[in-house]
Chain A
């Protein structure tokens, strides 16, 4: 059974329809990469799944619950941890407090247990020596790694990653992508919006290509980069344009 079922959703912002009768399913396995030109609804799709945007039509079922019911949103958001393009750490809290805020206040976890768990995930993202740092003492890449760890500490069934390296320089991007590669090897399920094609080539199991709010292509990675890019002119042009 799919963990996330996107059923014929439509989402508009004013006169601009960003997603049109869009349907796709995601299981709790592997890394799905969403690619496509800017403004084609990739980020909007992730935000709709997380309940940050209200869909105009259709439905999204996450872990058996509809995003249209407000009472389901907490469970859905805990099931699908989201990390944004802009790093959004809480600036009034240090790294450790950023990490344990939700487990302690939302899930009622004991503070010491939460700190133990936070240390485990900070170690996983290579930042075990930064727990007392404030956000402005971290580089952009380090901030994103904390954001990933902060999402992971809630044991989500899937991570939704919305262009998390777009605002970073190449060196910081590599730091973050390295972490994602390790998480993928450990079996963490991820939906990733990215323009980093080398990441998609190495890590993705499935590629979705979106254009003008519709799903143009949904293929396993190997087939996408071999057969589909040759058969589909639109996809071929896009990949050439981004230097792939």
Chain B
């Protein structure tokens, strides 16, 4: 009687697709927000003023040096306790992933700009460019050579890390797999499918990274 209940069905395929949709949507939204915030923080880190350049560290260091799952729990479970702001799992997941992405992306932006040789700035100034013009036409394009491959690696990593949102009940791909496993009692099969689905989602990003690396690459 329970045999049929424990079989994988087409409905499970639909559930997996929905799970993929949730995973991709929270990842994509978080990466966009995180990239924008991270870029701003990274640029501020490049300031020659020591006080100004240290300010983003207030956000960056705690977020980089603590587990993502703890950050997630703090926002989902901890925030209502201190602020009475109760977030649904979806926005809580996006806020957590966005901030986490921003912290790591800021470091990438800062280090990729600093990696451009100082003489490139001097050559820009010597030709009459000001700070803004030198950065936009000369430095930024060179910084992409380091930034792009590292950013794609970060994005792939955040896609994998998004699976933690299952812990706050969000029906992403991991949570979907967990529930189907509980029903079917086939952990290897079901989680094997989840594993492959994550692989197939991540692979295009990895291929994109290779293409972009070739486009922005050059040698000094």
Listed in ascending order, the chain A residues whose CB lies under 8 Å from chain B are 50-52, 73-74, 77-78, 81-82, 84, 86, 88-92, 101-102, 105-106, 134, 136, 150-151, 154
Whether A134 contacts B218 in the complex (CB less than 8 A), given A84-B123, A105-B133, A105-B137, comes out as: yes
Give the shortest distance, in Å, between A135 (CB) and chain B (any CB).
8
Please, which residue of chain B has its CB at the minimum distance from the CB of A134?
B218
> Is B141 located at the chain interface by the 8 A CB criterion?
yes
Listed in ascending order, the chain B residues whose CB lies under 8 Å from chain A are 119-120, 122-123, 125-130, 133, 137-138, 141-142, 145, 218-220
Query: Across the interface, which residues of B come within 8 angstroms of A52, CB to CB?
Result: 122, 125-126
Whether A88 contacts B129 in the complex (CB less than 8 A), given A101-B137, A105-B137, A136-B219, comes out as: no
- In the complex the two chains form, is B119's CB within 8 Å of A154's CB? no
Please, which residue of chain B has its CB at the minimum distance from the CB of A162?
B126
- In the complex the two chains form, is A106's CB within 8 Å of B119's CB? no
Please, which residue of chain A has its CB at the minimum distance from the CB of B136?
A105
Query: Across the interface, which residues of B come within 8 angstroms of A89, CB to CB?
Result: 123
Q: Determine the distance from Cα of A146 to Cα of B84 in the docked complex, in whole angstroms.
A: 65
Q: From A82, A86, A92, A101, give the contact of B218 (CB < 8 A).
A: A92
Query: Across the interface, which residues of A come within 8 angstroms of B120, CB to CB?
Result: 88, 90
Give the shortest distance, in Å, between A132 (CB) and chain B (any CB).
14
Q: Determine the distance from Cα of A148 to Cα of B80 in the docked complex, in whole angstroms.
A: 65
Q: From A77, A86, A101, A136, give the contact of B126 (CB < 8 A).
A: A77
Q: Determine the distance from Cα of A81 to Cα of B126 in the docked complex, in whole angstroms.
A: 7
Q: What are 30 contact pairs spanning A and B, CB under 8 A?
A: A50-B126, A52-B125, A52-B126, A73-B125, A73-B130, A74-B128, A77-B125, A81-B126, A84-B119, A84-B123, A88-B119, A88-B120, A88-B123, A89-B123, A90-B123, A90-B142, A91-B142, A91-B218, A91-B220, A92-B141, A92-B145, A102-B128, A105-B133, A105-B137, A106-B127, A106-B129, A136-B218, A136-B219, A151-B127, A154-B128
- In the complex the two chains form, is A90's CB within 8 Å of B138's CB? yes
Q: From A50, A74, A82, A91, give the contact of B130 (CB < 8 A).
A: A74
Q: Determine the distance from Cα of A138 to Cα of B107 in the docked complex, in whole angstroms.
A: 34
Q: Determine the distance from Cα of A86 to Cα of B118 in the docked complex, in whole angstroms.
A: 12
Q: Apart from A52-B126, A101-B138, A136-B220, what are 19 other A-B pairs with CB-CB below 8 Å? A: A51-B125, A74-B130, A77-B126, A82-B126, A84-B122, A84-B123, A88-B120, A88-B122, A89-B123, A90-B120, A90-B123, A91-B142, A92-B145, A105-B129, A105-B133, A106-B128, A106-B129, A136-B219, A154-B127
Query: Across the interface, which residues of A come within 8 angstroms of B123, CB to CB?
Result: 84, 88-90
Please, which residue of chain B has its CB at the minimum distance from the CB of A83?
B126
Please, which residue of chain A has its CB at the minimum distance from the CB of B118?
A88
- In the complex the two chains form, is A102's CB within 8 Å of B218's CB? no
Please, which residue of chain B has its CB at the minimum distance from the CB of A88?
B123
Query: Across the interface, which residues of A come within 8 angstroms of B133, CB to CB?
Result: 105-106
Give the shortest distance, in Å, between A145 (CB) and chain B (any CB).
15
Q: Determine the distance from Cα of A50 to Cα of B120 in the docked complex, in whole angstroms.
A: 15
Q: From B126, B138, B142, give the contact of A84 (CB < 8 A).
A: B126
Q: Determine the distance from Cα of A81 to Cα of B127 in the docked complex, in whole angstroms.
A: 7
- In the complex the two chains form, is B127's CB within 8 Å of A77's CB? yes
- In the complex the two chains form, is B142's CB within 8 Å of A77's CB? no
Give the shortest distance, in Å, between B84 (CB) and chain A (any CB).
50
Please, which residue of chain A has its CB at the minimum distance from the CB of B140?
A92
Please, which residue of chain B has its CB at the minimum distance from the CB of A70?
B130
- Report which residue of B119, B128, B219 has the largest number of chain A beta carbons within 10 angstroms of its beta carbon: B128
Query: Across the interface, which residues of A come within 8 angstroms of B125, CB to CB?
Result: 51-52, 73, 77
Query: Across the interface, which residues of A come within 8 angstroms of B138, CB to CB?
Result: 90, 101
Query: Across the interface, which residues of A come within 8 angstroms of B137, CB to CB?
Result: 101, 105
Please, which residue of chain B has its CB at the minimum distance from the CB of A160?
B126
Query: Across the interface, which residues of A come within 8 angstroms of B129, CB to CB?
Result: 102, 105-106
Query: Across the interface, which residues of B come within 8 angstroms of A154, CB to CB?
Result: 127-128
Please, which residue of chain B has its CB at the minimum distance from the CB of A71?
B130
Give the shortest distance, in Å, between A225 (CB) and chain B (any CB).
31
Q: Determine the distance from Cα of A139 to Cα of B128 in the docked complex, in whole angstroms.
A: 26
Give the shortest distance, in Å, between B145 (CB) and chain A (any CB).
8
Query: Across the interface, which residues of A come within 8 angstroms of B220, CB to CB?
Result: 91, 136
Give the shortest distance, in Å, between B72 (CB) and chain A (any CB).
39
